[in-house]
Amino acid sequence: MIRGPVDSSQVPRFAGPPTFARLPRIDEVSDVDIAVLGVPFDSGVSYRPGARFGPSHVRESSRLLRPYNPALAVEPFALAQVVDAGDVVANPFSIPEAVRQIEVGARALLERAGRLVTIGGDHTIALPLLRSMAAIHGPVAVVHFDAHLDTWDTYFGEPTTHGTPFRRASEEGLLDRSGCLHVGIRGPLYGAADLRQDAELGFQTVHAREMDDLGVAGVVERIRDRVRERPVYVSVDIDVLDPAFAPGTGTPESGGLLSRELLGIVRAFSTLNLIGADVVEVAPAYDHAEITGIAASHVLYELVSAMAMGVARGSAG
Ligand SMILES: N=C(N)NCCCC(=O)O
Ligand SMILES: [Zn+2]
Ligand SMILES: [Zn+2]
């Protein structure tokens, strides 16, 4: 059976399949442990559009990934059958229909694969993804890496946008309110009430300005203390990185994390019960030299590695 990426010493990286990390397509295998799904949807954005092109850009930027992860000392694609499940069809003219399509697509894949890693798309997609996770696991702990809270209420009266997924998820009971945490929050808000309401919705916050004092180890400790044994879903808005490391995104904010810091923090999920993850808000039109695409593909690689280690341990999933 096919397993793992195409050998880049035999087939050049600029040839061969356009799948994430040059992995097999889902239709080429019988059993699946981890499915990588693209969600090319960006009709929920409040500023620059273009994240609908994120999945294909991140896949293209993932061609240089290699099979051994030295930081975690694992070969993720040997530990678990990881496949590219292609893109879900999401109606760009109807947010409600797109959200239903994403939830249905994610649930079907979860039934087959058990674990799902999604490439967005704007942050709206976290809502249907969390619906699909909660349908299986019950309320989940969410560790949310973002410059933005994304717990706002509505934009132009619209409740389902990229600035509102975690408020909706909390209201719907999809979140374990005692296990959620934002990391990397920064930038101006609409008012002080934003933070109060956010806390009521179940989130603790590690602000970007705390990063230097806490360091990677300190942030990891905050995450472990908050999440513990709970099933945890990780949502990474690429704008958590400083615009220097992720210019290709729709709502950039100054003063963000280094890519090295984010990669270091994400590795901590290798010893937690990671059940699902997404990387969203990559908008290639504003990217240069694949800077953002490469950062996103490496974050995905660490997430898949962490998840594959969970598969190998046989943890709940
Ligand atoms: N989810 C992202 N990337 N951004 C939300 C920004 C919401 C706003 O325009 O205030
Ligand atoms: Zn954001
Ligand atoms: Zn976001």
Among the atoms of ligand 1, which is closest to the Cα of residue 281?
Answer: 3
- Say which ligand is closest to the CA of 161: 1
Model pLDDT, residue 206: 98
Looking at this predicted complex, what is its ipTM?
Answer: 0.98
Name which residue sits closest to atom 5 of ligand 1, judged by CA.
163
Query: pLDDT by residue (tens digit) across 232-276?
Result: 999 999 999 999 999 999 999 999 999 999 999 999 999 999 999
Domains of the chain and CATH, by start: 20-316 (3.40.800.10)
Task: Calculate what percentage of the chain has a pLDDT beyond 90.
Answer: 97
What secondary structure, in 3-state letters, does 278-306 show? Answer: EEECCCHHHCCCCHHHHHHHHHHHHHHHH
Query: pLDDT by residue (tens digit) across 161-197?
Result: 999 999 999 999 999 999 999 999 999 999 999 999 9
Among the atoms of ligand 1, which is closest to the Cα of residue 250?
Answer: 3
- Say which ligand is closest to the CA of 239: 2
Instruction: Calculate how far, in angstroms, residue 170's C-alpha sits from the geometric centre of ligand 1.
Output: 18
List the strands of the sheet with 273-280, edge to edge: 82-87, 34-39, 115-120, 273-280, 231-237, 141-145, 180-185, 203-207
Pocket test for ligand 1, best of 43, 123, 235 (most atoms within 8 A of CB): 123
Model pLDDT, residue 1: 78
Phi/psi of residue 241, each to 5°?
-75, 150
- Ligand 1 neighbours by CB, cut-off 6 Å: 46-47, 123, 148, 150, 162-163, 237, 239, 250-251, 281
Say what the pTM is.
0.98
Query: pLDDT by residue (tens digit) across 4-17?
Result: 999 999 999 999 88
Site of tokens 């979860």: 110
